[in-house]
């Protein structure tokens, strides 16, 4: 049985988009969470980007005592990601990417972004995607399957641009997790940019400004 399409919040530019950012929220949030950030990125008029913010489905969440919340996957008793649940969400993000391709946006103009649990999903989707994508923006997050890097990941995305940002005072996902993910990616041959900020499990203005600059660099037409 096919899963129903994920509901999304979309922010479209005044002109026809030439690139798309699919931005995945964290545990317990929804697609509106990062919607207010878009104007703060200050993308230029000659870079019309569509932002797609999907809502994760609701499910019982172990970290919340079994209460239902929006989540891309559950965490196991050991605190690790539920990989079967994560892979189910990967397939649903594949569908979103395909929707944009069907709408005329090439895969290499589609960037995956994610915060916290959404960043885990962005990594798991993009690194294994069979077509080259534009980049990965990973905020306050970690890698769920570092052992699979290189051997199982898609060669077409071996050179994918990656920006990782993390808070030095993050008490939810300590910065050591982000640093470990960065080291694993670099050890597998991926080039990435790493930024850390004096904050907790959140985003800050300096980080948002850096994200805006990076998106312009990665998504701006070169032709």
**Is 166 annotated in the active site?**
no
Cα-Cα-Cα-Cα dihedral of 141, 147, 151, 154, to 10°? -20
**Is 170 annotated in the active site?**
yes
**Is 108 annotated in the active site?**
no
Q: Which of 25, 30, 74, 116 is catalytic?
A: 116
Q: Which of 74, 166, 170, 182 is catalytic?
A: 170
Question: For the chain, how long is the longest CA-to-CA vector?
Answer: 52
- Calculate the alpha carbon distances from 39 to 11, 51, 118 in Å: 10, 11, 21
Nearest alpha carbon to residue 183 among 162, 167, 200: 162
H helix count then E strand count, the chain: 4, 9
Polymer length of the chain: 223
Task: Determine phi and psi for 151, rounding to 5 degrees.
Answer: -80, -40
Q: Tokens standing for 204? A: 């800050």
Q: Tokens standing for 202? A: 């959140």
Burial (CB count <10 Å: 0-12, 13-18, 19+), residue 141 = buried
- Calculate the alpha carbon distances from 23 to 9, 19, 96, 117, 123 in Å: 10, 13, 11, 11, 12
Q: Which of 95, 108, 180, 201 is catalytic?
A: 201
Active site residue ranges: 116, 170, 201
């Amino acid at each position: 049985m096919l899963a129903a399409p994920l509901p999304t919040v979309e922010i479209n530019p005044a002109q026809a988009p030439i690139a798309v950012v699919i931005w995945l929220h964290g545990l317990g949030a929804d697609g509106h969470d990062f919607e207010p950030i878009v104007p703060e990125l200050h993308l230029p008029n000659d870079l019309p980007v569509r932002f797609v913010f999907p809502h994760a489905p609701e499910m019982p969440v172990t970290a919340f005592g079994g209460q239902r919340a929006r989540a891309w996957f559950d965490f196991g008793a050991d605190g690790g990601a539920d990989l079967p649940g994560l892979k189910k969400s990967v397939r649903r993000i594949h569908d979103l990417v395909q929707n944009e391709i069907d709408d005329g946006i090439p895969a290499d103009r589609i960037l995956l972004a994610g915060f916290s649990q959404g960043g885990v999903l962005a990594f798991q989707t993009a690194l294994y995607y069979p077509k080259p994508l534009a980049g990965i923006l990973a905020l306050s997050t970690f890698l769920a399957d570092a052992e699979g890097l290189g051997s199982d990941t898609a060669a077409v995305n071996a050179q994918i641009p990656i920006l990782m940002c993390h808070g030095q005072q993050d008490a939810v996902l300590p910065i050591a997790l982000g640093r470990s993910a960065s080291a694993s990616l670099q050890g597998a041959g991926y080039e990435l940019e790493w930024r850390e900020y004096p904050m907790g499990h959140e985003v800050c203005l300096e980080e948002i400004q850096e994200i805006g600059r990076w998106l312009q660099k990665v998504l701006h037409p070169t032709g």
